[in-house]
Structure 1
Amino acid sequence: MQISGRRCEVVAPIAASSFDLTEEYASAFRTESYHEFWAQVLDHELEHGAALKMPMSARRGKSVGGFLAENLLSPDQTTVSKILGHLKPGSLRLDTRALLTDYYAGTADASLLFGLLLQEIDRTRRRFRPLKAAVHSLLSGSRPSRDALRAVGDYVSKSGDARFDPFGVSQSKFQSVREGSVSLLDRLESGRKKARAKRQRLRRIRRAAASVCVVVFVASASIVGACVPIHAVVAAAALPGLVSAGVGRGGRSARRLDRGIAQLDAAARGAYILNRDLDTISRLVARLRDEAEHARRLLRLCEWGGGDEEEGGGGRWMTEEVVQQAVRSVGSFSRQLDELEEHLYLCFMTINKARKLVMQEILFAN
C-alpha cells in the first residue's frame, strides 16, 4: 500500500503547561479541513434532515449516535480493520499493533459518545422550543396568558422535583469513555517510552559492535601486515564493508523501531487531545446542568406567581422580576447548547485529523 503526497510530520504530545487549547481550537476554525468537515455535516443535514437525523431505512439495529459516528468518522473502523489486516508481515511490531488497534477503538467509542450527546442536544432543543415562546409571552400584556402558564407548568412538571439533568442518559457512557481514554493515553505513553529505551539500547549495541569490529580488524591487519604488507591493504579496503555487514541487521531493527515510535507519537498526541476535549465537554455539560436547574427553579416561581390573583400589584411585580430572570436564564441555556454542539463537531474533526495522521504513519511504514 502507498500513500500519496509527502509524509506528514508528527510531533510528540506536548506538555500540558505549554499547550494552549484555546489557540489550538482557534487555529482549527481557520483551517480548510474544518470548513470541509462542516460541508460534510451540512450535506448530511440536507439529506437526512436537521441535526443529522437518521433516515428510517437505517434505524433498524442502529442508534443515532452510531449513525453519526459511521457517517462522520474518518477513516471508519471497517477501513482501519482492513488496512491493519493487510499490512506486510513485520511492518508493525505486535505490541505496537495492539496499541494502535486500541487507539482506533477508543476514538471510535468517543465518536459514538459525541453522537449521543448531539442527539440529546436535539431532543433538548425540541423540548425548549415551546418553552422559550411561553416565557417571552409572560412579559407581554397585563397578565400572563393561560396558555403561557400552562406551557411553563408542563415543563416544570415534566422535569420533576429532582435535580433536572438534560444529559443524564449519556453519563455512564461518558464516564466509561473518559476512563478508557485516560488508560489509553497511559498505555501509549508507556509503549512509546519502552520503544525509545529499546532504540537507545540498540544504538549503544551498534556503536559497541562497530568499535569491536574496528579493533579486531585493525589488530588482524597489523599482524598480517607485518608479514605480508599487501594483505594489510586488502584488509583496510574490506573493513568498511565488513563493519556495515556486521551492523546491517541492527540498522533494520532500528528503522523499524523508529517507525513504531512515530506511530505511537501520533496516536499519543491524538489521545492527549481527546482527553482535553473530554475534560472541556465535561465542564460544558456540567455548566448546562446548572443553568437548566436554575431555569427550572425560576420557572416554578413564575408558575406560582402567575397563578395568584393580583392584590395591589404585589404578586404581578414578583412575577415580572422572576420572569425577566427566567428569560435571561433560558436564553443563556440556549447559547450554551449551541456552544456545546459546536464543540462536539470540532471534537469530531480533531478525532478524524488524528486518526488520519496515525494511518499515514502506518501506511508510510508499510
Structure 2
Amino acid sequence: MMPCTRWLCSFRRSGRSRKECDKEDSLCNKSNVNEEYLRTFRTKSYIEICNKAQASNRSRLSSSCSTSLPPICMNLTESLLEPRQEIINNLTQNFKVHRLIVDYFEASLDACRCCDIILEGIHSTRLSYTRITRVVKLGNIVLNDFNDSGNEKTKKDIHKEVASFLIKLENSRLSVISTMQFRDRFIELLQRLTSKRKKMKRELTLIRVCKKVTGIALVTSHGAILNAAAKGVFIMINDLDTMSRMVKRLNDEVEHKKMVADVCVKNVRSKCEIVKQVMNEFSDQESRFLEQLEELEKHVYLCFLMVNKSRRLVMQQII
C-alpha cells in the first residue's frame, strides 16, 4: 500500500513551494496516519462522537427493552454519518461531479455500515459474556466443598449457565464478520483514482504547454477533489485493516473460550480440579477480554469520525 501514498497529495504541487508540498505529502505517510489516530482519540470531536453513539445505543436498547423485543441492530450510520447521504446525493447531482467521487461517497457509506456490523458483533459478544460473572460466583461456592451433596443444584446451575454461554458464543456475530469485501472494493477504488490521476497529470501538462489558464484551473480543481477522496479511501483501508486484526484476535479468544466452556460443561459434576482451573481461566481472562472488546469499539467510533472528516473535506472541495 505504501507506494500508493506517494501521489495522494501530488495534485496540488503546481504553484506551491516544495516545503508546502512536502508537508502535505507527509500527511499521507502511514506513520503520520497512526500518529493522527492517537491524537484523534484525545480530541473533543472524538469524545463527542463517542457520547453521541452511546446515547443513541442507550435510546435504542431502552426502546427494545420496553417492547420486550430482542436487542435491535445498532444502525449508528443513521445518526452518526456526516454529511447526511441525502445531502451528498443532492450535491453530486447539482454539481455533476466525477463518477469516482460518487463512488467514494458510496464507499464511505459502506465503511460506516461495516462499522455497524462490527458494533453488533461487539454487543452480542458482550451480552454473552455477562453470564461468566455469575458462573465464577457459583463456581466459588461449589469449589469450597465440591463433594457436598447440597451443591448439586449449584453444579446444575453452573452447567446450565456455561452451556448457555457456549451456545451464545457459537452464535456470536463477531465470529462471522469479514471486512475483506469492503477492503477489496476500497483498494480497487484507490487503483482507479491512481489511474485517473495519471491521466489528469498528462492533461495538465498538455494544457500548460498550450497556456490555457482556464483549463489549468479546472483540472487543478478536479485534481484537488480526487486527491481528498483518495486520502479518505487510504485512511478507510487502514481503519479496516486495524479493525480486521482486532476482530481476528477477539475471534481467537472466543474460540479458546468455547473450548474452555466445553471442558467445564463436561466435568462440572465430577472433577473438582478441572472445574477449578476453568473458573480461574474465566476469572483471570474476563477483564482482558472485555478490554479488547472496548478497544475495538473505540476504533469503530474512530472510523466513523475519520469517515465524516474525509466526507466533509471532499464536499468542501466540490463547493
Paired amino acid for 1:35: I
Q: Distance in 2 between matches of 1:256 and 1:54?
A: 55
Q: Paired residue for 1:84, among 84, 92, 108? A: 92
Corresponding residue for residue 139 of structure 2: 138
Change (3 A) 1:273 1:55: farther
Q: Distance in 2 between matches of 1:347 and 1:166?
A: 20
Query: Does 2:303 match 1:347?
Result: yes
Pairwise mapping of residues 207-356 of structure 1 onto structure 2 (< 5 A)? 250-308=212-270, 315-356=271-312
Q: Any stretches of 5+ residues in structure 2 without a counterpart?
A: 1-20
Query: Does 2:52 match 1:40?
Result: yes
Q: Paired residue for 1:31, among 43, 60, 77? A: 43
Corresponding residue for residue 78 of structure 2: 70
Paired amino acid for 1:64: C
Q: Deviations over 1:296-347 (max 9, x none)?
A: 1112222233220xxxxxx323321232123233433222111111110110
Q: Quick one: percent identity of the two aligned structures?
A: 28
Secondary structure of the corresponding residue to residue 310 of structure 2:
helix
Aligned residues of 1:73 and 1:348 also touching (Cα < 8 A) = yes
- Deviation (angstroms), 1:282: 0.8
Query: Does 2:177 match 1:167?
Result: no
Secondary structure of the corresponding residue to residue 304 of structure 1:
helix
Secondary structure of the corresponding residue to residue 74 of structure 1:
coil
Corresponding residue for residue 241 of structure 1: none
Q: Any stretches of 5+ residues in structure 1 without a counterpart?
A: 1-8, 207-249, 309-314
Corresponding residue for residue 227 of structure 1: none
Change (3 A) 1:298 1:46: closer
Q: Distance in 2 between matches of 1:354 and 1:253?
A: 27
Report the TM-score when normalising by structure 2. Answer: 0.80
Aligned residues of 1:120 and 1:166 also touching (Cα < 8 A) = yes
Q: Distance in 1 between matches of 2:298 and 2:64?
A: 17
Change (3 A) 1:38 1:258: same
- Deviation (angstroms), 1:24: 1.8
Q: Distance in 2 between matches of 1:119 and 1:54?
A: 16
Q: Distance in 2 between matches of 1:115 and 1:13?
A: 31
Corresponding residue for residue 209 of structure 1: none
Aligned residues of 2:28 and 2:231 also touching (Cα < 8 A) = no
Change (3 A) 1:284 1:55: farther
Change (3 A) 1:14 1:188: farther
Aligned residues of 1:12 and 1:269 also touching (Cα < 8 A) = no
Secondary structure of the corresponding residue to residue 83 of structure 2:
coil
Secondary structure of the corresponding residue to residue 140 of structure 2:
coil
Pairwise mapping of residues 163-202 of structure 1 onto structure 2 (< 5 A)? 166-171=173-178, 174-202=179-207
Paired amino acid for 2:305: M
Q: Distance in 2 between matches of 1:202 and 1:53?
A: 60
- Deviation (angstroms), 1:255: 0.3
Q: Distance in 2 between matches of 1:201 and 1:347?
A: 39
Corresponding residue for residue 219 of structure 1: none
Secondary structure of the corresponding residue to residue 19 of structure 1:
helix
Q: Distance in 2 between matches of 1:46 and 1:157?
A: 26
Change (3 A) 1:326 1:264: same
Corresponding residue for residue 110 of structure 1: 111
Change (3 A) 1:131 1:288: same
Report the TM-score when normalising by structure 1. Answer: 0.70
- Deviation (angstroms), 1:136: 4.3
For structure 1, which segment, 279-288 or 331-340, has the greater mean C-alpha deviation from structure 2 after superposition? Answer: 331-340
Aligned residues of 2:131 and 2:165 also touching (Cα < 8 A) = no
Q: Deviations over 1:196-221 (max 9, x none)?
A: 23212322332xxxxxxxxxxxxxxx
- Deviation (angstroms), 1:84: 1.5
Aligned residues of 1:13 and 1:268 also touching (Cα < 8 A) = no
Paired amino acid for 1:271: V
For structure 1, which segment, 133-142 or 114-123, has the greater mean C-alpha deviation from structure 2 after superposition? Answer: 133-142
Q: Distance in 1 between matches of 2:27 and 2:93?
A: 31
Paired amino acid for 1:111: C
Aligned residues of 1:156 and 1:300 also touching (Cα < 8 A) = yes
- Deviation (angstroms), 1:45: 3.7
Q: Distance in 2 between matches of 1:338 and 1:332?
A: 10
Paired amino acid for 1:272: F
Q: Deviations over 1:56-106 (max 9, x none)?
A: 8xx9xxx835x321211101211101112222x7xx5xxxx1010000001
Secondary structure of the corresponding residue to residue 138 of structure 1:
helix
Paired amino acid for 1:257: V
Report the aligned-residue RMSD: 2.9
Q: Distance in 1 between matches of 2:307 and 2:207?
A: 34
Query: Does 2:156 match 1:151?
Result: no
- Deviation (angstroms), 1:11: 4.1
Q: Distance in 1 between matches of 2:225 and 2:65?
A: 35
- Deviation (angstroms), 1:153: 2.2
